[in-house]
Amino acid sequence: MKALYFDGKSLTMNADYPKPKSGETLIKVTMSGICGTDLEILKGYMSYSGVLGHEFVGIVEDSDNKDLIGKRIVGEINAGCKKCPSCLSGLERHCQNRTVLGIYKRDGAFAEYISLPEENIHVLPDSVSDKQAVFVEPLAAAFEITEQLHLEPNWKIAILGDGRLAQLVARALKLSCHDITCFGHHERKTALLQKIGIKTKSAIANSDEHAFDVVVEATGSESGFLDAMRLARPRGTVVLKSTIASQNKLDLSPAIINEITFVGSRCGPFRPAINALATGLVSVDDLIDAIYPIDKYVQAFEHAGKPGVLKILLES
Amino acid sequence: MKALYFDGKSLTMNADYPKPKSGETLIKVTMSGICGTDLEILKGYMSYSGVLGHEFVGIVEDSDNKDLIGKRIVGEINAGCKKCPSCLSGLERHCQNRTVLGIYKRDGAFAEYISLPEENIHVLPDSVSDKQAVFVEPLAAAFEITEQLHLEPNWKIAILGDGRLAQLVARALKLSCHDITCFGHHERKTALLQKIGIKTKSAIANSDEHAFDVVVEATGSESGFLDAMRLARPRGTVVLKSTIASQNKLDLSPAIINEITFVGSRCGPFRPAINALATGLVSVDDLIDAIYPIDKYVQAFEHAGKPGVLKILLES
């Protein structure tokens, strides 16, 4: 089968990659999405080599669960050992022996076929289009915040960033909190946020300091981390939604003096994301910048890596 | 009056320092304690200049509240504006306009007299000795953890460090959790912890990785921060109890992947600390290494700064 393989150095299309033969549910991939994590992996993140891609929609071709065959589905990307305390408590995404689709020890979705454990599969309602379905995984990561924190409806929320992740976080949190401000300086992107009732600011004003109950860091930059400490109120919460490696001296004293809580936040629950898309509570169509056939992957990745670009999809 | 004044460069005894005339409650200091924060201030922390010292016990000499006069007391160190949302909600220690005894814009307790707002004063029961009373402030900072987190009794707790702060944190948390391990390598200090039922380890074993529900960082070193990420279970909590300024690149990815929560923790509630000392639930007598008359401050500070030393007290 065709698969987009990353050998740790370069990304190449392999026309004869072996089709998965794992005894898991076999899925023919219809469409997939390029994520910031994919771009990071190409730069060395996770030291991953294998088939890339973890945002996808597809059709089940084979499964031990015969009811799944022929169904249009999305799939959770973490596959646990099913034996450890994390797995037994329903948190397979924290299994220390897990594999992760297209990220860690498991071939990903930029291919004709993938396999996943049957438990990872979610059948899609007809009201979710293929293009929308590709957003289930990153939107679930946004809903993870609502699983980790009890968001009070009157809280003031700040989101740092206006990119792919920030856009989805804003859309997910809007269902819980009405007063959300995104800090971003790309006019096209902040315009999309304004349309759905999110306030936007291009810079932090003095009156913003220590004014927010929750701050979501979704820029991935070190300045984002420092800005988050500046925006959070005493005893407020900063959600770390993007991985940050500080290049400079990082002084955490302000966080201790103001007793800030930091919450690392990663993959999330698929069901609320599917429901929000199915009912139209969350819109994502405006986030798609282009769709490429997977054979045009060079152009697609180039496009995805350009500043200001939101979501690029691939058709398998 | 006599006062130990820090001008930003050196610490000197001033024999004619003006006695406080603030209209606040006036306290004659009996005894005070040298804290790690004092040693940090001498190195430049908080850019403070003024009279040092924030751990003390004393006798009220004058107050608008006549019932306080002659009473043996301790005092909360944060004085708020009494008008802002933090103050009105009872969290004066997070008032953005606060002064802090011996730390920020308010002369401290290494002196004959200090003044504090009447609301900051706590009258001591007879069962708490003067020496023990000096520990109320740092012990309150340890109890702050129990105010910020709901500690489940069966949780496994790790404390990084065996110094002044770690010793008090261990004693405070022992009242909530039975399974506590301190990581420290000073034999004399770990012996004190073992005596009160705390397990101690000199190094992190493989089996300790991701094995603790809560990890309290009380070393103040960058390696402490990295060790805390290593010890905390997925979705576990790391309490940052000492200020950390990282000198190197600090990679927070593990914290995001394992969805660790970090909680900055500072000053705490005095009442539980006083009660724990009054009832004997927490012992601190074994933590006192020496008592100096305040005139011997040079020797006292030298002693307090030596590695392996626990608490040094000053008699006014």
Q: What is the largest CA-CA distance in chain B?
A: 60
Q: Is there a contact between A212 and A233 (Cβ–Cβ < 8 Å)?
A: yes
Pick from B88, B224, B73: nearest CA to B137: B73
Structure tokens at B51: 């009279």
Q: Tell me the mean pLDDT in the region B188-211.
A: 96
pLDDT tens digits for range A100-124: 999 999 999 999 999 999 999 999 9
pLDDT tens digits for range B244-296: 666 667 778 889 999 999 999 999 999 999 999 999 999 999 999 999 999 99
pLDDT tens digits for range A240-249: 998 766 666 7
pTM: 0.89
User: How is domain B3-135+284-315 classified at the CATH fold level?
Assistant: Quinone Oxidoreductase; Chain A, domain 1 (3.90.180)
CB contact under 8 A, B261 and A262: yes
Q: Is A71 exposed, middle or buried (CB count within 10 Å of its CB: 0-12, 13-18, 19+)?
A: middle
CB contact under 8 A, B258 and A210: no
Window 218-247 of A, Cβ < 8 Å to B? 225, 234-235, 240-247
Could you tell me where the DSSP H helices lie in chain A?
36-42, 85-88, 130-133, 136-148, 164-173, 187-195, 222-231, 253-257, 270-278, 297-305
**Which pLDDT does position A245 carry in this prediction?**
63
Q: Is there a contact between B288 and B313 (Cβ–Cβ < 8 Å)?
A: yes
Structure tokens at A132: 């929308």
> How would residue B311 be classed by pLDDT, with cut points 50, 70 and 90?
very high
CB contact under 8 A, B261 and A260: no
CB contact under 8 A, B246 and A244: no
Residue type, B248: N
| Interchain contact B210–A (C-beta under 8 A) | yes
- Which site among A89, A262, A266, A267 would you substitute to test the B interface, given the most B Cβ atoms closer than 10 Å to its Cβ? A262
**Which pLDDT does position A199 carry in this prediction?**
97
| Cα-to-chain-centroid distance, residue A100 | 13
Q: Is there a contact between B123 and B71 (Cβ–Cβ < 8 Å)?
A: yes
Does residue B197 carry a pLDDT above 90?
A: yes
Strand order in the sheet with A261-264: A199-201, A179-183, A156-160, A212-217, A232-240, A261-264, B261-264, B232-240, B212-217, B156-160, B179-183, B199-201
**Which pLDDT does position B252 carry in this prediction?**
84
| Interchain contact B91–A (C-beta under 8 A) | yes
pLDDT tens digits for range A58-89: 999 999 999 999 999 999 999 999 999 889 98
Residue B30 has φ and ψ, to the nearest 5°, of -95, -45
Pick from B156, B216, B155: nearest CA to B183: B216
Residue B131 has φ and ψ, to the nearest 5°, of -60, -40
Q: Tell me the mean pLDDT in the region A163-167.
A: 95
pLDDT tens digits for range B12-39: 999 999 999 889 999 999 999 999 999 9
Which candidate from B242, B256, B266 shows the least CB-CB separation from A265?
B256
Q: How far is CA B55 from CA A25, A114, B20, B110, in A?
A: 64, 63, 18, 9
Beta strand pairing status for B25-34 and B3-6? unpaired
User: What's the N-to-C CA distance of chain A in angstroms?
Assistant: 11
Q: Is there a contact between B242 and B218 (Cβ–Cβ < 8 Å)?
A: yes
Q: Is there a contact between A4 and A81 (Cβ–Cβ < 8 Å)?
A: no
Residues comprising chain B, all counted: 316
> How would residue B185 be classed by pLDDT, with cut points 50, 70 and 90?
very high
Q: Is there a contact between B77 and B137 (Cβ–Cβ < 8 Å)?
A: yes
Q: Which residues contact A256 (CB under 8 A, 6 or more apart)?
A: B240, B241, B242, B243, B244, B264, B265, B266
Q: Complex ipTM above 0.90?
A: no
Work out the percent of chain A whose per-residue pLDDT is above 70.
98
Residues of A in contact with B94 (CB under 8 A): 234-235, 258-259
Q: Which helix (H) or strand (E) holds B188?
A: helix B187-195
Pick from A265, A35, A4: nearest CA to A134: A35
E-strand ranges in chain A read 3-6, 11-14, 25-34, 50-51, 55-62, 72-75, 78-79, 99-100, 113-116, 121-123, 156-160, 179-183, 199-201, 212-217, 232-240, 245-246, 250-251, 261-264, 288-293, 311-315
Q: Is there a contact between A277 and A270 (Cβ–Cβ < 8 Å)?
A: no
Q: Is there a contact between A47 and A58 (Cβ–Cβ < 8 Å)?
A: no
**Which pLDDT does position B142 carry in this prediction?**
97
| Interchain contact B257–A (C-beta under 8 A) | yes
- Give me the CATH code for the A139-264 domain, please: 3.40.50.720
Q: Tell me the mean pLDDT in the region A250-271.
A: 91
Residue type, A50: G
Structure tokens at B40: 């940090």
Domain layout of chain B by residue ranges: 3-135+284-315, 139-264
**Which pLDDT does position A297 carry in this prediction?**
97
| Interchain contact B86–A (C-beta under 8 A) | yes
pLDDT tens digits for range B128-174: 999 999 999 999 999 999 999 999 999 999 999 999 999 999 999 99
